[in-house]
Chains A and B, each alone.
Chain A
Amino acid sequence: MVGIKAFLVIFGLLTAFAYMTLIERRLLARIQIRQGPNRVGPDGLLQPLADAIKSIFKEDLVVSRADKVVFVLAPMISVTFAVLTFGLIPFGPKDAFFGYDPWVINLDVGLLYVFAVSEIAIYGIFLAGWASNSKYSLLGSLRSSASLISYELALGISLLAPVLLVGSLNLREIVEWQHQNGWLILYMLPAFAIFLLTSMAEAARTPFDLPEAEQELVGGYNTEYSSIKWALFQMAEYIHLITAAALIPTIFLGGWRMPGFMEQIPLIGGLFALPYLWMFIKIALFLFFFIWVRGTLFRLRYDQLMVFSWGRLFPLALAWFLLAALVVAFKWPMAVLGWLSLLSLLVFSAYVILTAQPRPRGLPRMGAGD
């Protein structure tokens, strides 16, 4: 049974990765007022297949005097450990999978496991840069591991507050807790924001996609990689992203549950209570958000990246964790956290509104038709 579930998860994940690339290219194209890939198959639907065939049959170069074993192993490490985390995501309650438990494995230290294992992907990146026998790759991999580790720190601490409040590392227990007490995002808005940003950085996603660095370096850690090995790195990156998009709703947005007020509506509450559907909707929403951000923002500079992580996110995460710890330690009501969360939202919106610059008038606008 575990084997079948593992197969389904891996199969579904690989399909999701393939079509994520297509959807991303289409959406980015639409943001740039283009059409995007639409030549292969009906409306471009076979494009991922064509990409896969192309990347398999491209010339596979191995740099001379590269450490061949590590060079070949590095992308495999990256992708393997990216895939390993996804089985931990709860897609439904105990009997959601035709009466069976939808979880591949149920770990009490689930959250810990997810972050421990997904971090090994950085190891793959670093090994790739080291084994390439190229200065570009080595520097690129050093840079990406440094940035990924910086963000990992803020990510871990931002998660401590919800874990403290729930009192469990088990992902399903976190979801069940949210069903009884309301979604964690209500109590943990700053932690949610930090977790969203840092998990984007974790997945090496725009605007934190410095490991890629196509424009300013020749490509960072993957400079010397070609064909399917390069594609494996891309795959690891996207699988990371999908895992992040699944983890965020699991931890902060009630997992497989529909919003509480909708459960009260008699017809809808019964009809659309499918756990898979709601999990899918939430994952899709976050993936759309990631694509949207990628279509909007440009890459941060390295020093900006470091200052943002160590100087902004890390202290904020620490402060919020201390607050949550105070609330838990002195057994204050949880509503305190809710009010603080709301207050942070108000301060943030006030900051956005007060610092908003009016669009300069009279200047020519660039865009289509000019």
Chain B
Amino acid sequence: MSIAALAQSMGITLKALFSKPVTIPYPDAPVPLKPRFHGRHVLTRHPNGLEKCIGCSLCAAACPAYAIYVEAAENDPHNPVSAGERYAKVYEINMLRCIFCGLCEEACPTGAVVMGYDFEMADYRYSDFVYGKEDMLVEVEGTKPQRREAAYTGKPVKKGYRVPYVRPELEGVKPPDSK
């Protein structure tokens, strides 16, 4: 290590000292996400309000991690839940097993299950990671822990990330804008 190289390296660090940090202050500032980011699943609806999911279990069959459980039931013809013959009475995804690969999204014949943009899903109990229909239907905003906290404090769900536009598959999902 020559003395000249030493002086050169001191100059490099001095230059770096006066450059702007590249740190993203994540919880404070919004994080930009890519439009095709694979986040928490969303169960979409038809424009008339009927659920797209017909309880066919193809997503469960396609899931490489066996994270999805679907239990179908016959629709009441006078008051249907879904547009098909049957609907998903129980639709659960174990987020601890899910690898967010998106194969369920590809397997779905009606485009009912789509990967959304939520990723702040840290929680305390194993049982809280099994997401049901009520956690994933399109009206739901924010992640499960965030909603629980919002319900507890009475404040609105906070959003810490930013998406430039929402994929067309995510019908009825508003782009989660920064706070």
Interface on A for B, CB 8 Å cutoff? Answer: 27, 29-35, 292-293, 295-297, 348, 351-353, 355-357, 359, 368
Contacts and interface: CB of A to CB of B under 8 A. Distances in A.
Given A34-B21, A368-B22, A357 B9 contact: no
A31 B15 CA distance: 8
Given A32-B16, A356-B4, A296 B22 contact: no
Given A30-B16, A30-B17, A296 B10 contact: yes
Contacts of A297: 6, 9
Tell me the dominant secondary structure on chain A's binding face. Answer: helix
Interface string B1-26: 01111111110111011011111010
B3 A296 contact: no
A352 B23 contact: no
Q: Among B17, B19, B25, which residue has the most Cβ atoms of chain A within 10 A?
A: B17
Interface of B: 2-10, 12-14, 16-17, 19-23, 25
Contact of A30 (B5, B8, B21, B25): B21
A352 B3 contact: yes
B16 A31 contact: yes
Contacts of B19: 33
A33 B16 contact: yes
Contacts of A32: 16
Contacts of B20: 33
A312 B3 CA distance: 13
Contact of A292 (B2, B5, B10): B10
28 contacts: A27-B17, A30-B16, A30-B17, A31-B13, A31-B17, A33-B20, A33-B21, A33-B22, A34-B21, A34-B23, A35-B23, A292-B10, A295-B13, A296-B9, A296-B10, A296-B12, A297-B6, A297-B9, A348-B3, A352-B3, A352-B4, A353-B4, A355-B2, A355-B4, A356-B2, A356-B5, A357-B4, A368-B22
Contacts of A355: 2-4
Nearest to B4: A356
Given A30-B16, A292-B10, A292-B14, A35 B3 contact: no
Nearest to B9: A296
Contacts of A27: 17
Contacts of A351: 3
A80 B10 CA distance: 34
Contacts of B7: 352, 356
Contacts of A368: 22
A12 B20 CA distance: 32
A34 B23 CA distance: 6
Nearest to A300: B1
A357 B5 contact: yes
B72 to A, nearest CB: 49
Contacts of A348: 3
A145 to B, nearest CB: 26
Contacts of A293: 10
Contacts of B10: 292-293, 296
Contacts of A357: 2, 4-5
B120 to A, nearest CB: 18
Contacts of B4: 352-353, 355-357
A34 B21 CA distance: 5
Contacts of B17: 27, 30-31, 292, 295
Contacts of A296: 9-10, 12-13
A63 B3 CA distance: 44
Contacts of A356: 2, 4-5, 7-8
Contacts of A34: 21-23
Q: Among B5, B7, B16, which residue has the most Cβ atoms of chain A within 10 A?
A: B16
Given A33-B21, A348-B3, A351-B3, 13 more contacts: A29-B21, A33-B16, A33-B19, A33-B22, A33-B23, A35-B21, A292-B13, A292-B14, A292-B17, A296-B13, A353-B4, A356-B4, A357-B2
Nearest to B21: A35
B57 to A, nearest CB: 46
Across chains A and B, which 4 residue pairs bring their CB atoms closest together, nearest first? A356-B4, A296-B13, A35-B23, A35-B21
